[in-house]
Amino acid sequence: MMRLSRPLRRAGESVVPMINVAFLLLIFFLMVAVVAPPDPFQVDLPSGAGETGETSTVVILVGRDGQVVYNGIEGDTFLEAVDGKSVLLRADAALSGANLNALLKQLIDARAVSVQLAITDH
C-alpha cells in the first residue's frame, strides 16, 4: 500500500514586518510631535482688528489680576529673557490699565525690542 503524503500547507505571511513598520511610525510621530505644556490659567484675549503677532520670540501670559507667567514660572523671571527680543503679551481682557502700564515699564527697562499685545478677532 502506498502512503500518500498530505500536501504541504503554505505558511501564513508573517506580521512581524508590519509590526516593525507600526513601531517605526510611532517612534517617528513621537519624535516630531510638539508637546507644549498647557497654560497655567485661562486668558480671555481682548478683541480687536489686526495681526495677532503669534510669531514673537518671548510669550508672556498676564492674568486679570496682574499675575505674570513665563515658561510656566510665575514672577519676574521673564525680565532676563526679554533683553533684545520681541515680546508677545497674552494679557487677559480684564487686566487693569495700571497693571498693564507697570508691566510695560518693566519690559522697557528690561530692553525689550518690541511689545505686541495678542488679540482675538471675534
CA distances from 102 to 27, 50, 88, 95 (A): 46, 24, 16, 11
Inter-residue contact 57 to 86 (CB < 8 Å)? yes
50's torsion region: left (phi>0), alpha (psi -120 to 50) or beta? Answer: left
pLDDT at 84: 86
Domain ranges of the chain: 58-117
Q: pLDDT band at 37, cuts 50/70/90? A: confident
Nearest CA to 116 out of 92, 89, 93 is that of 89
Q: What is the pLDDT of residues 53-81, one digit of tens each?
A: 444 478 999 998 989 998 888 888 888 88
Which sign, positive or negative, has the C-alpha torsion 58, 110, 101, 65?
A: positive
Q: Which of 1-5, 88-92, 101-105 is predicted least confidently? A: 1-5
Q: pLDDT band at 50, cuts 50/70/90? A: low
Cα separation, 16 vs 12, in Å, equals 12
| % of the chain with per-residue pLDDT over 70 | 84
pLDDT at 1: 61
C-alpha cell at position 68: 505674570
